[in-house]
């Protein structure tokens, strides 16, 4: 029978010498800087509260790295949720999910072209590019990863940041399919997209809009817009898309000034994370009652759940999620698809 999780700020050999052999604990090693941060906490908060996230991390890690389909589940760390098992999307399961996505050929071609662009994070298998952020209390000597088994897929520095993973700039096929279905269910005719990049999600939306439909597409990168507009032309939806090159906030404010408030059915945001609060407030003015605002990247590679990651973007998304959770002007549903999306319905 294994003993309790033990948190030690040193190397494995030294740590083992500090413990009675009879306890056979499971050791979780952490660099010294993380212990120093923990020492700033009240004594009651230092290690007692660490055991729950450690256990949750171990469950998630085992589920994501097991070939046994029976292990592809996770359980909430809070026992008050009744130990409900939910699916954990492993690489093989995500392959299966993608095989059940109805992706139009034109979107497939755009996705594949986008994947070849320098700096693009859109890949044929986007889930595999997303790894569990390194937690300071779960480290390994190999590539600084949470486990040697993850080392071939990721490389972390000592700040808990995933070095190869940069801001994802395009939604995955399963996300695009969900966006298109939401537009169809809503019967939307007027839509807004903040952050177009090469146009994968906006094209998915435009394809399902009626002929009289309109999509306002806001993007500041002209080179990316050129790719998007080429595919709008190829797909025969250019007449539905009103491209606005420049700062999205300026475009949205201009639309409000022109009297377009409460006239849009649907909005999707996948742009500068530190601007989410401002985008959301502007879109609340533009979207009608009963309309939807969908926000991407709300789980931010899992960083939002790691208290040791506090870079500007992560903190901004974390604060935004808290703000939306408390906002009585909308009903919400955060869904763990792609990098996490929050669907907001204006009340």
CATH code, domain carrying 233: 3.40.50.150
Number of domains in the chain: 2
Q: Considering only residues 38 and 278, tell me which one the structure prediction assigns the higher pLDDT.
A: 278
1 has a pLDDT exceeding 80? no
199 & 319 share domain: yes
333 & 226 share domain: yes
Kindly state the helix (H) or strand (E) to which residue 296 belongs, with its residue range: strand 287-296
Residue 47, classified by CB atoms within 10 Å of its CB into exposed (0-12), middle (13-18) or buried (19+), is middle
Question: Which residues constitute the domain of residue 231?
Answer: 173-346
Residue-level pLDDT at 72: 76
Mean pLDDT of 38-61: 46
Residues above pLDDT 90, as percent of the chain: 58
Task: Decide the pairing of beta strands 264-269 and 287-296.
Answer: parallel
Please write the tens of the pLDDT for every residue from 303-333. Answer: 999 999 999 999 999 999 999 999 999 999 9
185 & 331 share domain: yes
Question: Is residue 158 in a domain?
Answer: no
Residue-level pLDDT at 36: 39
Residue-level pLDDT at 44: 38
Question: Is residue 109 in a domain?
Answer: no
32 has a pLDDT exceeding 50? no
Residue-level pLDDT at 119: 57
78 & 186 share domain: no
219 & 337 share domain: yes
68 & 177 share domain: no
Q: How confident is the model at residue 228 (pLDDT cuts 50, 70, 90)?
A: very high
Residues above pLDDT 70, as percent of the chain: 65
240 & 336 share domain: yes
74 & 185 share domain: no
Give the whole-angstrom CA distance, residue 269 versus residue 275: 10
Residue-level pLDDT at 197: 96
Please write the tens of the pLDDT for every residue from 131-162. Answer: 333 333 333 333 333 333 333 333 333 334 44
Mean pLDDT of 97-110: 97
Last residue of a domain, one of 73, 88, 103: 88
Last residue of a domain, one of 61, 88, 115: 88
Question: Is residue 300 in a domain?
Answer: yes
Residue-level pLDDT at 143: 37
Question: Is residue 73 in a domain?
Answer: yes
Mean pLDDT of 227-250: 98
Structural contact between residues 343 and 269, judged by C-beta atoms closer than 8 angstroms: no
187 & 330 share domain: yes
Residue-level pLDDT at 81: 85
Give the whole-angstrom CA distance, residue 81 versus residue 99: 32
Residues with Cβ within 8 Å of residue 47, at least 6 apart in sequence? 7, 38
Question: Is residue 159 in a domain?
Answer: no
Q: How confident is the model at residue 40 (pLDDT cuts 50, 70, 90)?
A: very low
165 has a pLDDT exceeding 80? no
| Average model confidence (pLDDT) across the chain | 77
Question: Is residue 167 in a domain?
Answer: no
55 & 178 share domain: no
Lowest mean pLDDT among 14-18, 43-47, 84-88, 170-174: 43-47
47 has a pLDDT exceeding 50? no
Q: How many CB atoms lie within 10 A of CB 304?
A: 21
Token couple for 328: 């009585």
Mean pLDDT of 56-75: 59
Q: How confident is the model at residue 79 (pLDDT cuts 50, 70, 90)?
A: confident
CA 81 to chain centre: 23
330 & 231 share domain: yes
Q: Considering only residues 287 and 163, tell me which one the structure prediction assigns the higher pLDDT.
A: 287
Does the pTM of the predicted model rise above 0.75? no
Question: Is residue 136 in a domain?
Answer: no
68 & 211 share domain: no
Question: Is residue 315 in a domain?
Answer: yes
Last residue of a domain, one of 71, 88, 105: 88
């Amino acid at each position: 029978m294994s003993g309790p999780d033990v948190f030690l700020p040193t190397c494995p050999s030294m740590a083992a010498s500090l413990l009675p052999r009879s306890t056979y604990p499971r050791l979780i090693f952490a660099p010294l800087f993380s212990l120093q941060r923990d020492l700033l906490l009240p004594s009651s908060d230092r290690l007692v509260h660490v055991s729950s996230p450690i256990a949750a991390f171990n469950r998630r890690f085992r589920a994501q790295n097991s070939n046994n389909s029976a292990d592809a589940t996770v359980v909430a760390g809070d026992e008050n949720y009744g130990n409900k098992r939910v699916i954990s999307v492993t690489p093989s399961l995500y392959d299966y999910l993608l095989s059940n996505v109805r992706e139009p050929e034109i979107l497939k071609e755009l996705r594949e072209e986008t994947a070849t662009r320098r700096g693009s994070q859109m890949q044929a298998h986007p889930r595999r590019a997303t790894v569990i952020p390194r937690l300071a209390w779960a480290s390994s000597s190999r590539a600084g990863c949470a486990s040697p088994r993850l080392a071939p897929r990721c490389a972390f520095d000592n700040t808990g940041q995933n070095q190869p993973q940069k801001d994802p700039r395009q939604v995955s096929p399963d996300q695009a399919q969900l966006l298109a279905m939401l537009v169809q269910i809503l019967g939307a005719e007027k839509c807004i997209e903040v952050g177009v990049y090469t146009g994968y999600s906006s094209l998915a939306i435009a394809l399902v809009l009626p002929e009289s439909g309109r999509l306002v597409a806001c993007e500041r990168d002209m080179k990316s817009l050129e790719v998007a507009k080429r595919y709008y032309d190829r797909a025969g939806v250019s007449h539905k898309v009103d491209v606005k090159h420049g700062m999205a906030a300026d475009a949205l404010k201009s639309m409000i000034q022109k009297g377009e408030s409460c006239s849009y059915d649907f909005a999707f945001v996948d742009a500068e994370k530190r601007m989410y609060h401002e985008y959301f407030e502007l879109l609340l003015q533009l979207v009608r009652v009963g309309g939807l605002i969908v926000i991407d990247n709300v789980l931010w590679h899992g960083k939002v759940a790691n208290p040791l990651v506090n870079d500007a973007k992560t903190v901004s998304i974390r604060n935004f999620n808290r703000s939306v959770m408390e906002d009585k002007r909308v009903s919400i549903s955060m869904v763990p698809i792609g990098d996490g999306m929050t669907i907001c319905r204006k009340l």
